[in-house]
Amino acid sequence: RLKPFNRLQVILQHLKMSKQTDSTAEVLLEKRGGAAIITLNRPKVLNALTLSMIQQIYPQIKTWEQDPETFLIIIKGTGGKAFCAGGDIRAIADAGKVGDRLARDFFREEYILNNAIGTCKKPYVALIDGITMGGGVGLSVHGHFRVATEKTLFAMPETAIGLFPDVGGGYFLPRLSGKIGYYLALTGFRLKGRDVLKAGIATHFVESEKLPALEKDLIALKSPSTENIADLLNSYHVKSKVDQEKEFVLDEHMEKINSLFSANSMEEIVKKLKQDGSPFAIKQLETINKMSPTSLKMTLRQLREGASMSLQDVLMMEYRLSQACMRGHDFYEGVRAVLTDKDQSPRWKPAALEEVSDEFLDDCFKPLGNNDLKL
C-alpha cells in the first residue's frame, strides 16, 4: 500500500494529467488533426476569464506555435450563450481592495496573452458565438480570423465600471472605420450579429448552427496555409443568409458619430452632443452621463494615443492605466454598483468631467519603472 503522502502525490499527479480533458476544467486544450483547440469552459459564468485560465492558455499557444504538426489554432466557448463575457472582474476588485498581487498579475498576464495572440505565427481562428465582451474581445480580436454568428453580442462596457476598454482596445478601436471605435469605447454600445462583421471587428459571419461543421472541416484540412483556411471560412461565409439584407445598425448615424466623436476632449464631445440636440445625440448624452468621468477621459486619450502606436506599446500603456485604476476609486465603486449591489447608481469621484484634471491623467499614463509591462 502507498504511504499516505505518496498516495496524495499520485492523486495530485493524476489530477494534473486529467485536468486537460476533465469536463470540469476551466479551459480545455486539445489537438485534433492539424488543429489545436482551446475551449473556454465556464458556461455558468459565461466563460469569464480567470488568471489560471490565462496561465494555461499562454504556454500552450507558445508550444503549438513551435509545433510543425499544428497548422491552426481554434478558440471557442462552451454553453451556447457566450464566447467569453470578459475577465473575472469581481475577483480583481476584491484583490485590488486589499492590495493583493492578483490585481497586478491578472492584467500583466492577460496582456501578455493578448500580445501572443496578436503576434501568433499560426493562423488563429476565434469562433465568437454569443456574448463577447472585454477580456473575451482580447482573446479574439487580435487573431487572424474572427467568426461572428447571429448570436454574437459584442461590447466594450468598461467605462460603466470605472475601467477603460483594455486588452488592446487602444489598438483596434481607433483603427475601425471613422469614429466607430471611439463611439463603442465611450458609450459601451452593443453590436449584434452581422453588425459585428460590418463594424470590422469580425472577419467572417457564419450561422451558429453551422459552427460544428465548420470546425470539423477546419480540423480535416491537410497542412493548410493561411489562404486555405481563409478560403474555407469564405465558403461558409458566402452561404450564410441570416440578416444579409439588413443594413448596418449605425449606418444612419455614421455621419453624426464621425463628427461628434472626433472632438479632442470629452468636454468638447459633450458640448457637440448638446449642440446637436437630435434624439440620437440626446441618447448618447444620457449614456455618457452615467459613465465614470475619469474612465471617459482616460479612454479618449488612450484611443487617441493608441491610434498611432504598435500593439505592444498600446498594451504597455494599458497596463499603466490598469494599475492607475487599481489605485483609484471609480473601479471599485463601479464593480459595487454594477456587479455586487446591482443598484446601478455608482457615485463617481470626481463626479464631473471638469474635475478630472490633466495632471491626474498624466499621472495615470506615467511609466511604472521596473513594474512596467515587458513584452
Domain count, the chain: 1
What does the DSSP assignment read for 234-259?
Answer: HHHHHH--TT-SPPPTTGGGHHHHHH
Tell me whether residue 135 is one of the annotated catalytic residues: yes
Average pLDDT of the chain? Answer: 95
In a domain, 12, yes or no: no
Indicate whether 261 pLDDT > 90. yes
pLDDT digits over 146-190, tens only? 999 999 999 999 999 999 999 999 999 999 999 999 999 999 999
Tell me whether residue 166 is one of the annotated catalytic residues: yes
At 24, is the pLDDT very low, low, confident or very high (cuts 50, 70, 90)?
A: confident
In a domain, 6, yes or no: no
Indicate whether 23 pLDDT > 80. no
In a domain, 7, yes or no: no
Residue among 26, 77, 86, 87 flagged as catalytic: 87
Tell me whether residue 87 is one of the annotated catalytic residues: yes
In a domain, 65, yes or no: yes
Residue reference for cell 506599446: 313
CATH assignment of the domain containing 119 = 3.90.226.10
Residue among 26, 88, 110, 158 flagged as catalytic: 158
Indicate whether 41 pLDDT > 90. yes
What integer is the mean pLDDT of 308-336?
A: 98
pLDDT digits over 49-74, tens only? 999 999 999 999 999 999 999 999 99
Indicate whether 18 pLDDT > 60. no
In a domain, 83, yes or no: yes
pLDDT given at position 19: 47
Range 273-281, long-range pairs (CB < 8 A, 24+ positions): 280/253, 280/256, 281/256
In a domain, 5, yes or no: no
Cite the DSSP H helix spans in the chain.
4-18, 51-66, 89-97, 102-118, 135-138, 169-172, 180-187, 194-198, 211-220, 226-239, 254-260, 266-276, 279-290, 293-306, 311-327, 330-335, 358-364
Amino acid at 267: E
The three cell numbers of residue 21 are 480533458
In a domain, 179, yes or no: yes
What's the rounded Cα separation, in Å, for the pair 309 and 193? 29
**Residue 213 is part of which domain span?**
24-371
What's the rounded Cα separation, in Å, for the pair 201 and 264? 24
Q: Which of 237, 232, 236 is nearest to 35 (CA)?
A: 232
Indicate whether 1 pLDDT > 70. no
Indicate whether 233 pLDDT > 60. yes
What does the DSSP assignment read for 75-117?
Answer: EEESSSSEEE--B-HHHHHHHHHTT-THHHHHHHHHHHHHHHH
The three cell numbers of residue 368 are 511604472
Residue 292 or 23, more confident: 292
Helix (H, G, I), strand (E, B) or coil at 273: helix
In a domain, 9, yes or no: no
Residue 29 or 4, more confident: 29
Tell me whether residue 77 is one of the annotated catalytic residues: no
- Do residues 157 and 134 make contact, with C-beta atoms less than 8 angstroms apart? yes
Residue among 135, 168, 169, 181 flagged as catalytic: 135
Residue among 166, 195, 215, 330 flagged as catalytic: 166
Give the containing element (helix H, strand E) for 340: none
